[in-house]
Amino acid sequence: MSFFCNNIISRLCCLKPSEQFNREHEPLFADVERQAVNQLIDFFENRSQVNFYEGEPLRALSTLAYSGHFELQRSAAIAFSEVSEADVRPVSRETLDPILYLLQSPDFEVLRSASAALGNLAVDPQNKILIVKIGGLEPLIRQMLSPNKEAQCNAVGCITNLATAEENKSKIAKSGALIPLSRLAKSHDIRVQKNATGALLNMTHSPENRMQLVSAGAVRVLVELLDASDSGVQYYSTTAISNIAVDENSRAHLHQTEPSLVPKLIRLMDEPEANIRCQAALALRNLASDDEYQRNIVINGGLRGLKNMLISNDSYMVLASVACLRNLSIHPGNESALLNSGFLMPLVQLLSSPTTIGISSSNSEDNYVNYGEIACHSVSTLRNLSASSDNTKLLLVEYGILPKIYSCLVNHHTTMLTKSEMTAALAVLALCDTLKEPILSSGFLEVLIPLTHATFIDVVGNSAAAIGNLSASVSDYSVFISNWYEPEGGLQLYLQNFLSSEGEPTFLQIGVWTILQLVESGNEELMKLIKSHDTIPGLLKKINTDYTANSQYNQIGDLNGGSTYNPNPGNESYYQVAALIQQVFKSLDLEL
């Protein structure tokens, strides 16, 4: 502090003409300017007690700023720069106007210091908004076009700060700043390059601004910067690409114009910096929202880097990897590669508990924050990989998936979103006849029944689908009998509720399907419980009457091959449900 004050004082003293000089020459400065210089010398000598953003100190600085003399303007710009570096606070337009005036100077030293001052003040949230509101973008854009590297660097740095305010982003995008920012992102000066790339990154947080970036040609620049030697530039450009890839139209543009993008991102997953590896995986995840990219990532060797991240002890890398794997597992063409690369066991292990995901002390607390997301992505990936193969389902059970799903479902701290994914996976596993009895003997029915009363509709539907699949073709139905009334009203209440779900035709479908499986079991005690129930037969009759009358409407999906909860039923007719109800009544020897 004392050093810069002494510097400013020395500079101002040099501007103070000597008595001999005044006698021999016409005065260079107006009286008001000489007075301002003298005042500022006094103010800087008592710097700790002075607020330069208002009152006499600001008027003295403004006098020098609006002067016609470059030396006075340089002193004002340097003073604003040094003061703002040490003291950032909300300021008024009266403070900003002289700084913006200085940005119109043709003198590089004035430009450099004035833009540095504006960049310092732009750290404050209120100042960010005010600077743009009073026209600060235009001189900054003009300064970005300056041949002076220092002026460029400071102008871009200021725009980077301004672009962190949501209110400013669309204004910056429409101001014409994106084209010079894209050009400066290729600068040979690393400071300019890093500031410009950071500014472009800050512009990627809304769909409208991302479209502006694509139109300005920034995407090609960002892809080129993935090979930058500076890790900061790599991180900014990778994160920006990841954000841009959120939009379907942008992904199509990238697919058509940037064939090198996927190989570059895959290489970045081998970088030593964890944050770059994470962003590369997340960028691949966003690209893998499209099936072309899903296949392309695997073909280009992306699984190796993803597996290394998956088995790391960093929860952020684990999360980035498994989020990408989830999207890759959607493509049937990737199933074999994922299975042969040994992903099943580590994915199952990720369902255990937060403490098994990352053990480094630096992020142990974050493990609990990330666990829900990691578990969701992991079990969803496993569900996708096992959907078409009973052998894969059996392998997952061999690896211990059932007790992990059970622990998750009975844990009150588990989020409903995670429980939704877990119950969906269980419904898929329950399609395998070999696994039905192991699942039932593990106590899952007692857990699933209460979940059919949950407030989260996907948990309700998936839990019911799992029960429906478990009810088909098992040798021992004693567990269904023992859970008829308990827990929480048991099977009978769940079935009664689903048969009453007129607003959820898929729930009706699952309820009717499940009753048919229980009736066709041939278990006399179970059939008696259904037949003698107070409301179930009556509800079935009502549904049959309603659905037969409306059989011309296509409302619900295929009932064959097990239950799967789908909030948007398929296009089969009501008649199918009515036909199933008729089968139920025939098996129970009841009349409709």
Q: Where does 248-290 show beta strands of DSSP type E?
A: none
pLDDT at 549: 74
pLDDT at 564: 57
Q: Strands (DSSP E) along 252-291, which ranges? A: none
* Beta bridge pairs of residue 573: 554
All residues at 6 or more sequence positions from 84 whose CB lies less than 8 Å from its CB, including other chains: 116, 117, 120, 121
Residue 163 DSSP one-character state: T
Residue type, 257: T
- Cis preceding-peptide flag for 487 (omega within 30 of 0): yes
Q: Compute the distance between CA of residue 101 and CA of residue 490 in angstroms, rounded to an integer.
A: 77
Rounded distance, CA 366 to CA 311, Å?
A: 17
What does the pLDDT read at residue 448? 98
pLDDT in the model for residue 199:
95
318 CB contacts (<8 Å, ≥6 apart)?
309, 310, 312, 350, 357, 358, 370, 374
Candidates 66, 72, 47; CA nearest to 57 is 47
Neighbouring CB atoms inside 10 A of 547's CB total 24
| Structure tokens belonging to residue 199 | 């500014």
Distances (CA, A) of 89 to 124, 137, 465: 6, 20, 59
Please state the φ and ψ torsions of residue 247, each to the nearest 5 degrees: -90, 135
Residue with tokens 């596993």: 429
For helices 70-86 and 93-102, angle between their N-to-C axes, nearest 10 degrees: 130
Per-residue pLDDT, 502: 74
List own/partner pairs for 119-122 with CB under 8 A and 24 or more apart: 119/154, 119/157, 119/158, 119/161, 120/81, 120/84, 120/85, 120/88, 121/84, 121/88, 121/91, 121/95, 121/96, 122/158, 122/161, 122/162
Element spanning 573, H or E? strand 572-573
Q: What is the per-residue pLDDT across 156-190, written as a single tens digit (0 to 9) for each?
A: 999 999 999 999 999 999 999 999 999 999 999 99
CB 164 within 8 A of CB 128: yes
Q: Give the pair of three-digit tokens for residue 243.
A: 């954000």
Domains of the chain with bracketed CATH: 1-162 (1.25.10.10), 440-592 (no CATH)
Q: What pLDDT, on the 0 to 100 scale, is given for residue 191?
A: 94
Cα(378)–Cα(386) distance, rounded to whole angstroms?
A: 12
Cβ pair 437, 394 in contact under 8 A: no
Rounded to whole angstroms, the Cα distance separating 46 from 38 reads: 13
Cα(512)–Cα(521) distance, rounded to whole angstroms?
A: 14
Residue among 466, 401, 469, 470 nearest 437 (CA) = 470
Contact 373, 332 (CB under 8 A): no
- Six-digit token pair at 246? 């959120």
Are 224 and 184 contacting, i.e. CB atoms less than 8 angstroms apart? Answer: no
Amino acid letter for position 179: I
Closest CA to 379 of 403, 400, 405: 405
In the predicted model, residues of the chain with pLDDT beneath 70 are: 1-29, 353-369, 550-573
Confidence (pLDDT) at 558: 42
Rg of the chain, C-alpha, whole Å: 34
Which residues, 6 or more positions from 556, have their beta carbon under 8 angstroms from its beta carbon?
505, 506, 508, 509, 569, 570, 572, 573, 574, 576, 577
The whole-number pLDDT of residue 575 equals 80
Contact 342, 359 (CB under 8 A): no
- The span from the CA of 325 to the CA of 350, in Å, is 13
Q: Is 11 helix (H, G, I), strand (E, B) or coil?
A: helix
Nearest Cα neighbor of 531 from 480, 479, 586 is 586
Token pair 């379907």: residue: 248
Give Cβ neighbours of residue 21 (< 8 Å, ≥ 6 apart).
none
Angle of helix 524-531 relative to helix 536-549, nearest 10 degrees, comes to 70
Q: Determine contact, residues 172/163, Cβ cutoff 8 Å.
A: yes
CA dihedral angle for residue 433, residue 396, residue 285, residue 283, rounded to 10 degrees? 180
d(CA 3, CA 448): 71
